[in-house]
Structure 1
Amino acid sequence: MDMSIALILGQDGITNGAIYALLALALVLVFAVTRVIFIQQGEFVAYGALTLAMMQAGTVPATVWLLVAMGVLVTVFDAGAALRAGRHRRAAAVAGWNLIYPLALAAIMAMLPVASLPLLVQVFLTLAIVVPMGPQMYRLMYQPVASAPVLILLIVSVALHIAMVGLGLLFFGAEGQRTPAFSDASFELGTLMVSGQTVWVLVVSALLIGALYQFFERTLYGKALRATAINRVGAQLMGISPALAGKLTFFLAAFIGALSGVLIAPITTIYYDTGFLIALKGFVAAIIGGLASYPIAALGALLVGLLESFSSFWASAYKEVIVFTLIIPVLLWRSLNTGHVEEEE
């Protein structure tokens, strides 16, 4: 291996590591706030990429009908409860966000020539379809069992992952899809050629991480999530709604997943089940951070990306094995250096 090959592999590793870092941050955030191991994070990656691909093919994305179906269920449960309690304004707000919004979005998608829209508009519509599924999923699947043990929440996550993979096959088919690059530009850094899409991935990832930092440091909702992550019971006693914290957390996780899918769709072919493998690598990074530390998880993601990239050169057939084997020494080290902690009641 000469220096030029090492630089190319390093570029690929850093690019992949940036995406894994975003997914790791989302996994750490969801677990810290809700105790949910968000296995289906990868499905949001695939749904984001393939929804954009369907739009560019001139087809109304099937995911918009999933959004409508989930919205109907949330409206039935929450608006019905609000009406029984005499809270008519609350019922109208629930119906507006969970029913009228998805139906209006479906109507807009059916009327617009989606294939000829500018790329940024297509990306915005993709996020508008996929991201609201996050809080709806929390309301339907997790909120009723929010106080259950972590094992029960893990079983729910596994079931949702299997369901979303099956729906992905139904919606998108078995064929992989790629989308056009955001930019055809390329830049020379010495002997290294950097594509415009790589720059987009790195810049957007850095901006998103910076925006999340500002959100948690500067905003009231961000501080509420931090308080919930540190002490759920204490945050609840101080008036922070666990349901609101859960929905907001799932909203952020769905946004990060869908945006990551949009970013990597021009770089690699995305299949209906591709997201699971990508999210697993983000999970390895999150485990390196102990499912608690954001900076260590981000550094772990870069390590995973670089390890995967260089492994593909030295032992391409075993690169996945090498990456996932990294979790074993990390778990051994943590088991030897962390005392047993009973699950919070």
Structure 2
Amino acid sequence: MDAQIALMLGQDGLVNGAVYALMALALVLVFSVTRVIFIGQGEFVTFAALSMAMLQGGARTPATLWLLLALAVATLVVEAWRHQRGAPVDWGSTLVWTVGLPALACAAVLLWRPTSVWAQALVTLLLITPLGPLLYRLAYRPLAHATVLMLLIVSVALHGVLVGLGLLFFGAEGSRTPAFSEARMDWFGVPVTGQSLVVIALTAVLVLAMFGFFERSIIGKALRATAMNRVGARLMGIPTELAGDVSFALAALIGAVSGLMIAPITTIYYDTGFLIGLKGFVAAIVGGLASYPLALAGALLVGQLEAFSSFWASAYKEVLVFTLIIPVLWWRSLRSHTVEEDEE
């Protein structure tokens, strides 16, 4: 291996690591706020990429629109049932997730029908982002007091359902979308594409925006308080159920952006998101599902390990990446003593 090959592999590792970093941040966010290990995070990537491809095809309406409407109706029925039984219902946020955003997505897909790449990306974000809080309300919020193991079992089941829906909606064929930038450059003898720079730049913007959101905004501080102590946050008047909605909405948004970024780079199939999410999970484990900076570092490590192992032992690159989780778990088991769940 010479220096030029090493630089090319390092570039590939950096681009892949940027996507895994977003996955890791979303997983840490959801787990810290709701205690859910959200295995279905990668499905947001798949749904966004394939919905974008369907929008660009122009022949059919993206099937995710019908999924969004079905989840919105189901959530509205559940909330009406809870209200009838005397449970408190925040109708403001409920109508935003079940009526406002789905209606906006319908208008964008059925009436606007955008033709530019950036407008189609915006419509895709409108389609995918509301799926997060709707899935949370239907699958996880009724089990808010369950154990982490029970929530993990629900995540596995939900992942299976979403993968099946992906096969039903999009078929077994893969799709790829046009790049956001067709630029071609040569840095130190290494070819660099504009799409790679778009991936890295958007990842940096999202990471900085997330840190600013948690440090500066009231909602971000409420999410941090919920992540630190759900009971204490509830006693201080923070609506922890709404915090779950926001965390899943952010996770869906991050997953959708990731799907839009990688669809021009690699062919996306209905089950591609699972592998991407799993590598993001490895990065999140490096951060102990709690530390955002360590999760970012872990994602970059995973990306570089994948890139260089594909050169040295391409047949075993996935094995080498997932083997990384073993020493990390061993090291963390030596440093941790007991794990106690919050008393509800």
Q: Tell whether the structures are fold-level matches, with TM greater than 0.5.
A: yes
Query: Displacement of 1:233 after TM fit?
Result: 1.1
Structure 1 72/189 Cα, relative in aligned 2: closer, same or farther at 3 Å? same
Structure 1 97/290 Cα, relative in aligned 2: closer, same or farther at 3 Å? closer
Matched with 1:15 is 15
- Name the count of aligned residue pairs: 342
Equivalent-residue separation in structure 2 for 1:24 and 1:103 (angstroms): 31
Which residues in structure 2 correspond to 1:180-329 (within 5 Å)? 180-329=178-327
TM-score with structure 1 length normalisation? 0.95
Structure 1 gaps of 5+ residues are none
Matched with 1:38 is 38
Structure 1 25/87 Cα, relative in aligned 2: closer, same or farther at 3 Å? closer
Equivalent-residue separation in structure 2 for 1:54 and 1:337 (angstroms): 48
Other structure's SS at 1:194 match: strand
Query: Displacement of 1:193 after TM fit?
Result: 1.6
Counterpart of 1:230, as a letter, is M
Query: Displacement of 1:30 after TM fit?
Result: 0.7
Q: Percent identity?
A: 61
Matched with 1:161 is 159
Q: What is the CA deviation profile of residues 120-162 of structure 1, one whole-angstrom value per residue up to 9, with x for unaligned ones?
A: 1100000000110000111111111011000110011001000
Counterpart of 1:45, as a letter, is V
Counterpart of 1:266, as a letter, is P
Query: Displacement of 1:81 after TM fit?
Result: 4.5
Query: Displacement of 1:309 after TM fit?
Result: 0.1
Q: What is the CA deviation profile of residues 158-205 of structure 1, one whole-angstrom value per residue up to 9, with x for unaligned ones?
A: 010000000000000000100000011022211112100000000000
RMSD: 1.9
Equivalent-residue separation in structure 1 for 2:18 and 2:280 (angstroms): 10
Equivalent-residue separation in structure 1 for 2:257 and 2:104 (angstroms): 22
Equivalent-residue separation in structure 1 for 2:207 and 2:257 (angstroms): 12
Query: Displacement of 1:77 after TM fit?
Result: 2.1
Q: Give 1:339's match in structure 2, choosing from 317, 337, 341.
A: 337
Contact 2:176/2:264 (<8 A) preserved: yes
Equivalent-residue separation in structure 1 for 2:149 and 2:9 (angstroms): 39
Structure 1 265/333 Cα, relative in aligned 2: closer, same or farther at 3 Å? same
TM-score with structure 2 length normalisation? 0.95
Equivalent-residue separation in structure 2 for 1:234 and 1:85 (angstroms): 25
Counterpart of 1:123, as a letter, is A
Contact 1:23/1:279 (<8 A) preserved: yes
Q: 1:78 and 2:76 equivalent? A: no
Other structure's SS at 1:125 match: helix
Which residues in structure 2 correspond to 1:111-126 (within 5 Å)? 111-114=111-114, 117-126=115-124
Other structure's SS at 2:311 match: helix
Equivalent-residue separation in structure 2 for 1:195 and 1:294 (angstroms): 28
